[in-house]
Amino acid sequence: MLGDEPVKTPKPHYHGHRDRLRARFAEKGADALADYELLELYLFRTIVRRDVKPIAKELIAKFGSFAEVIAAPIDRLTEVKFISENVALDLKILRAAATKLGQESILNRPVLSSWTALLDYCRSAMQYEGKEQFRVLFLDRKNRLIADEILGQGTVNRAPVYPREIIKRALALDSTAIILTHNHPSGDPTPSHADIKMTETIIQAAKAIDVTVHDHLIIGRENIASFKSLGLM
């Protein structure tokens, strides 16, 4: 009827939940939130018109943790209902940003005196990779990180690595020391016989051009194995 108040559409029930979750995060920080709640906070921005709590819980149930969700491949993320390719890509951007922050904490700093930060960075970059990945950290004369490059990617248990490519990059970057690192998707960081032989080959090739190999780190799901600590180099 003329003069009647327009009927207001009630807000979806999850709007109040979103406000409360944001307020809890603002007051107490991320440590006060479960992994699925932290994931909810991010999904609020990408899935606007839907209750994302069950979606966040399903993602955590499928992959195990917040870190494992954002590290998961796009094709596996989209197996979860309501996770489109765009939403999956947003999650991958979050992972890239987190890795970049870790890299910034050690870039152009003496890594041997920032070893804990280096280990944290390597873990965040490689811990949940589903395939083996071989990275080389190139250092300058003051042992500052000048480059971090992936020089081998492969299957779930092998990444082809060519010592000549490592030496070529070290020369091009004017690097005087390197740290080798790769992940074991199985989760067990124990060095294999092939890992040990490959490391010996790289050390000998590097020695010929006066490049020092400080360590070889193998990243597992929970732990990191250091060749130097294990007496393997």
Burial 195-219 (b: 16+ CB within 10 A, else e): beebbeebbebbeeeebebbbbbbb
pTM for this entry: 0.72
**Is pLDDT above 50 for 142?**
yes
- Whole-angstrom Cα distance, residue 110 to residue 121? 14
Strands 145-153 and 133-139 turn out to be antiparallel
Cα distance between residue 13 and residue 19, in whole Å: 11
Which sequence spans correspond to the domains of the chain? 14-100, 105-226
Q: Side-chain half-sphere of 181: how many Cα atoms within 13 Å?
A: 23
pLDDT tens per residue, range 36-73? 999 999 999 889 888 999 999 999 999 999 988 998 88
Place of tokens 């294999």: 192
CATH of 105-226, one of 3.40.50.1100, 3.40.140.10, 3.40.50.2300, 3.40.640.10: 3.40.140.10
